[in-house]
Amino acid sequence: MLVLIVLTLLINSAICWHNCGEGWKSNLAATLYAPIDVWKFDSCCQSHDICYEKQNGKSLCDNQFKNCMISKCDEETCELNAQAFYTAVRDFGDSAYKQASTGEL
């Protein structure tokens, strides 16, 4: 049963690509971690990528990202996922921010 769930998520991720995550590995990780909320956050992820590309300041981009995601939530679980996504970009997004300045994001 677990294998079926994972395969379904893998296929869904491959067919319906979303904008949360840099590359297929983090895109898949976001889908597996929060399969429902990641779709709510898609426009926030797009805006976050654009903010990084414009080099508006990593902290500003990350805070806007968090606020955008929280605005999409209507339950506590979603808000916890938003906080987790924010923490991930805040703590591990330095390389993505630097790559975005070169157009490699």
Residue 62: the pLDDT is 96
Q: What pLDDT is attached to residue 103?
A: 64
Q: Is a pLDDT exceeding 60 seen at residue 6?
A: no
Express each pLDDT in 30-80 by its tens digit. 544 555 567 788 889 889 989 999 999 999 999 999 999 999 999 998 999
Structural domain boundaries of the chain? 2-100
Q: Give start and end residues of each alpha helix (H) in the chain.
A: 2-15, 23-33, 37-40, 42-53, 58-71, 76-92, 94-100
% residues pLDDT > 70 (the chain)? 61
Q: What is the pLDDT of residue 46?
A: 87
What predicted TM-score, i.e. pTM, was given to this entire model?
Answer: 0.70
Cβ proximity of 61 and 45 under 8 Å: no
